[in-house]
């Protein structure tokens, strides 16, 4: 499903999401990805929810977002709060939703000029 046809100048846009794939601007990602509101999207080296560790969320600290939208895959799944403790301690909000909802929410927040990052879990298809 296509989310947003227009490119926002200087802001990353998640333009499309289908099962197992997401497009950031015109680039297709088939693996987990971190999408900052500005700058380059980059690989998030996690393949399954069960593989998530604290260091995966700590990668987001360098971006200094006010909010992280965590896309947990095809369905809504929560991780232990201890995994994103470093974000919470720095007063960075963390919202969890399924990846499709995370893509839509990220786009709305980024279009409003918010300093948001999406951490999108894209699990390998069996």
Question: How many DSSP H helices and E strands does the chain contain?
Answer: 3, 8
- Is the pLDDT at 37 greater than 60? The verdict is yes
Task: DSSP letter for 104, please.
Answer: H
Mean pLDDT (the chain) is 91
Could you report the per-residue pLDDT of 91-104, keeping only the tens digit for each?
999 999 999 999 99
14-120 topology per CATH: Hypothetical Protein Mth938; Chain: A, (3.40.1230)
Label residue 55 by pLDDT band (50, 70, 90). Answer: very high
For 99, list phi and psi in degrees, rounded to 5.
Answer: -60, -40
SS3 for 22?
Answer: strand
Confidence of residue 19 (pLDDT cuts 50, 70, 90): confident
What is residue 120's predicted lDDT score, i.e. its pLDDT? Answer: 98
DSSP classification of residue 59: T
Looking up tokens 């390998």 gives 124
For residue 8, pLDDT over 90 is answered with: no
Domain boundaries, the chain: 14-120
Q: Say what the pTM is.
A: 0.90
Q: Give, in order, the Cα–Cα distances in Å from 74 to each of 10, 14, 94.
A: 29, 16, 18
Exposed, middle or buried: residue 117 (CB in 10 Å: 0-12, 13-18, 19+)? buried
Residue 86: is its pLDDT beyond 80? yes
């Amino acid at each position: 499903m296509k989310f947003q046809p227009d490119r926002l100048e200087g802001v990353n846009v998640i333009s499309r999401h289908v099962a197992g794939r997401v497009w950031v601007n015109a680039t297709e990602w088939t693996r987990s990805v971190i999408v900052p509101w500005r700058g380059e999207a980059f690989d998030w080296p996690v393949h399954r929810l069960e593989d998530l560790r604290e260091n995966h969320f700590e990668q987001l600290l360098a971006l200094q977002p006010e909010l992280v939208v965590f896309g947990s895959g095809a369905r809504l799944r929560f991780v232990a709060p201890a995994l994103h403790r470093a974000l919470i301690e720095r007063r960075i909000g963390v919202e969890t939703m399924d990846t499709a909802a995370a893509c839509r929410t990220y786009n709305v927040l980024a279009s409003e000029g918010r300093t948001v990052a999406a951490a999108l879990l894209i699990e390998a298809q069996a």
